[in-house]
Amino acid sequence: MLAETFITAALFATSALAAPAPDPVQLMSRAPQPGVVLRQCAQPGMLALAYDDGPGQYTSRLVDILNAGGAKATFFMTGTLYGCIYNQAAAIKKAYASGHQLASHTWSHGHMNGFSAAQIASEMTKVETAFANIIGKKPRYMRPPFLETGNQVLPVLKSMGYKVITDDVDTGDWNRQTPAQSEAKFYQAGARGNGHIPLMHEVYQSTVEQLTPWLINWAKQNNLRLVTVAECMGDKNGMYQAQSFPVHQGQLSC
Determine which one of 100, 196, 201, 235 is catalytic.
Answer: 201
Helix and strand counts by DSSP (H, E) for the chain: 10, 10
Determine which one of 52, 53, 173, 235 is catalytic.
Answer: 52
Residue 103 CA, chain-centre distance (Å), reads: 7
The CB-side HSE value for 192 (13 A sphere, CA atoms) comes to 1
Instruction: Name the 3-class secondary structure at 32.
Output: coil
φ, ψ of residue 235 to 5 degrees: the values are: -130, 45
Q: Is 52 a catalytic residue?
A: yes
With CA atoms as reference, report the closest residue to 129 among 218, 243, 9.
243
Q: Is the dihedral of CA 77, 79, 83, 89 positive or negative?
A: positive
Residues 6 or more apart whose CB falls under 8 angstroms from that of 226 comprise: 46, 47, 48, 49, 66, 69, 70, 71, 72, 73, 216, 219
Q: Is 100 a catalytic residue?
A: no
- Residues annotated as catalytic (active site), given as ranges: 52, 201
